[in-house]
Amino acid sequence: MRAAFIRALLDMAERDARIYLVVGDLGYSIVEPFIERFPTRYLNVGVAEQNMTGIAAGMALCGKVVFTYSIANFPTLRCVEQIRNDVCYHNADVKIVSVGGGLAYGALGITHHATEDIAVMRVLPRTIVVAPGDPLEAELATRAIVEQSGPCYLRLGKSGEPRIHAPGVDFRLGKAITVREGKDLCLIATGSMLYSAVQVAELLSREGTQARVLSMHTIKPLDTDAVLAAARETSAIVTIEEHSVTGGLGSAVAETLAETSEFRVPFKRVGLPPTFTSLVGNHEYLKQAYSLSVEGIRRSLEPILQQVRSSR
């Protein structure tokens, strides 16, 4: 996703001289093409993310479209006050980009785990929150948020995410993408968990259960129409995210379901517990430890699958 982001950013910057990139002392091997092509539109502020956000807000209020970029929680949690007061309050055209959402930087510990960032960013007024599910979505999301005036949060994976969509996919902010049709239950995934959701759906299909898969790349504004359609047309809804189950995609979908009296559908949130991890290991190890591997997700679905089967 990182490479897709920088490719799209380079292309957009060629066409739009307002685009600037500000980083917090990282991005090496990724941002060099931007530095080489636009040296006067790039700034490395060092390990000073609060300053990075303030600088970006000031530049945006002078007519620029400014991207801030750093690892996981550093451009978000470290500088929430600056995002709230400098960016959101002034509706500044700042696009906050984090790389390595969830447990992607697993071995570096909780300082580098982004497990509450979606919850924090989606509560901030005027902020659009986007977590693309594959490199194509990352590219299209980058282009879309340039066209969208005001604060945006773009949450990327780290590297090596497989491509899921074919060229020509209809990507629009606030509109989910149906990756797979199914009538038994609906798996709503965001970010890097989209590929896992597709794999789980394929596994369920071999067991005789047909799962719809939605890529909910935009968490705010949420595609409530897609959620309610799933409640009307399938027998259960499951959200899957590499984020705390508190405040993220699962909470957003739960809010939508709770506020409608038309449907009552079995619902489950699959994600990380709202706690800190004391485990140390790589990304895949931590996902397995928290039942976010394909096998772990499938096991966690057993109770809700029993409800689906009993309703047939």
Region 24-46: mean pLDDT is 92
pLDDT confidence of residue 262: 86
Quickly state the pLDDT bin for 263 (edges 50, 70, 90).
Answer: confident
pLDDT at 310 over 90: no
Tell me, yes or no, whether 200 and 88 share the same domain: no
Q: How far is CA 5 from the centre of its chain?
A: 13
Q: What is the pLDDT of residues 228-258, one digit of tens each?
A: 999 999 999 999 999 999 999 999 999 999 9
Q: Which domain holds residue 284?
A: 177-311
Per DSSP, the residues of 85-144 read IIIITTT--EEEEEES-BTTTGGG-GGG-BSSHHHHHHHSTT-EEE--SSHHHHHHHHHH
Rounded to an integer, the average pLDDT of 157-175 is 92
Whether residue 169 lies inside any domain: the answer is no
For 270-288, what is the mean pLDDT? 94
53-68: pLDDT as tens digits: 999 999 999 999 999 9
Instruction: Check pLDDT > 90 for residue 169.
Output: yes
193 and 150 within one domain: no
Q: How far apart are the first and last CA of the chain?
A: 40
Instruction: Please tell me the predicted confidence (pLDDT) of residue 94.
Output: 98
Q: Which residues face 214 on adjacent strands?
A: 178, 188
196-240 pLDDT, tens digit each: 999 999 999 999 999 999 999 999 999 999 999 999 999 999 999
Mean pLDDT to the nearest integer, 123-142: 98
Q: Is residue 107 part of a domain?
A: yes
- CB-CB contact of 186 with 29 (8 Å): no
Q: Does 162 reside within a domain?
A: no
Q: How many domains are there within the chain?
A: 2
Based on the fold, state whether residues 184 and 102 are members of the same structural domain: no
Res 43: pLDDT: 97
Instruction: For residue 227, give both structure tokens.
Output: 């959620």
pLDDT at 149 over 90: yes
Give the C-alpha separation, 82 to 75, whole Å: 10
For residues 149 and 182, membership in a common domain is answered with: no
277 domain-assigned = yes
Is the pLDDT at 312 greater than 80? The verdict is: no
pTM: 0.96
Alpha-carbon gap, residue 111 to 154, rounded angstroms: 19
Residues 6 or more apart from 306 whose CB is under 8 A from it? Answer: none
